[in-house]
Amino acid sequence: MLDYFELDCAEPPAALVCWLHGLGADGYDLEPVAGMLGMPDVRHVFPHAPVRPVTVNGGMPMRAWFDIASTDLRRQEDSEGILVSAAQVRELTEALRAEAGLPVVLAGFSQGAVVSLAAAAQGLPGLAGVAALSGYVPRFLEPLLGNLRGVPLFMGHGERDEVIPFALGKAGYDVLAANGAEVDWRGYAMPHAICRQEIQEVAAWLAGVLRQG
């Protein structure tokens, strides 16, 4: 099972949020974002991606949810790597909610956003929503997107993103919406990052999702 850590929950948890970091980072990268949500009754869990060589970075080993062959992100997609990581995330969340049966929200940044969407599209017990930040939808995943109908989705993206172009993120929103998904799409005046306004809007979206549950 994936290595992970979690924040202390000040109150009995009402939900489990699993945060998936981006390429070359680790779970600690998103800890401040979770803390800024101001939700003391949420159990925040942060898994670490395995270390693997990444082709686009000269084969350098680093934490990555899947390989990237090119800066053209949808060319030579590492479908196997994405699906393996998605299965590991599903295994972790199922184990963590086994006793309490908490609703689960997947939240990911960049590569973590891709894997969050893949895990959700494969089916996840107790799934209440997905927050995909600065991510995209791989082509190979498109036939599974109908499985996300009825699952609240939040997608945020920087309009000046130099790593995953804004247009690619927007294309993901378009194909999800075309498959009947319920998507709250937001653009921000920022590069490949997470800004305070986005965190505030994720917090409001998450509160609404948990009220619905």
Give catalytic status of residue 79 as yes or no: no
Write down the pLDDT at residue 213: 61
CATH of region 4-212, choose from 3.90.870.40, 3.40.50.1820, 3.40.50.20, 3.30.870.10: 3.40.50.1820
Q: Please check the confidence at residue 98 and state whether its pLDDT lies above 90.
A: no
Are the beta carbons of 106 and 128 closer than 8 angstroms?
Answer: no
Q: Is 110 labeled as catalytic in the residue annotation? A: yes
Sign of CA dihedral 2, 127, 188, 5: negative
Residue 68 · residue 56 · CB < 8 Å: yes
Q: What are the residue boundaries of the structural domains of the chain, listed by start? A: 4-212
Helix 111-122 to helix 79-96 angle (10° resolution) is 70
- In angstroms, the CA 161 to CA 56 distance is 18
How large a percentage of the chain has pLDDT more than 90? 89
User: Is residue 52 classed as helix, strand or coil in its secondary structure?
Assistant: strand
* pTM of the predicted structure, to 2 decimals: 0.96
- DSSP designation for 13: -
Please determine, for residue 75, whether its predicted confidence score (pLDDT) is greater than 90: no
Encoded tokens for 134:
């600065």
Over residues 12-37, the mean pLDDT reads 96
pLDDT-based confidence at residue 135 (cuts at 50, 70, 90): very high
d(CA 207, CA 76): 37
CA distance 143 to 72: 21
Q: Which of 67, 78, 161, 184 is catalytic?
A: 161
**179 secondary structure, DSSP code:** T
- The DSSP symbol for 71 reads S
* Tens-digit pLDDT profile for residues 162-203: 999 999 999 999 999 999 999 999 999 999 999 999 999 999
Instruction: Provide the pLDDT confidence category of residue 152 given band limits of 50, 70 and 90.
Output: very high
Collapsed DSSP state (helix, strand, coil) of residue 161: coil
| 110, 134, 157, 184: the active-site residue | 110
Q: Is 192 considered catalytic here?
A: yes
- Range with the lowest mean pLDDT among 3-12, 88-97, 114-123, 165-174? 3-12
Confidence class for position 12, pLDDT limits 50, 70, 90: confident
* 104-109 and 127-133 beta bridge pairing: parallel
Residue 36 has pLDDT above 80, yes or no: yes
Q: How high is the pLDDT of residue 2? A: 96
DSSP state of 190: -
Per-chain mean pLDDT for the chain: 95
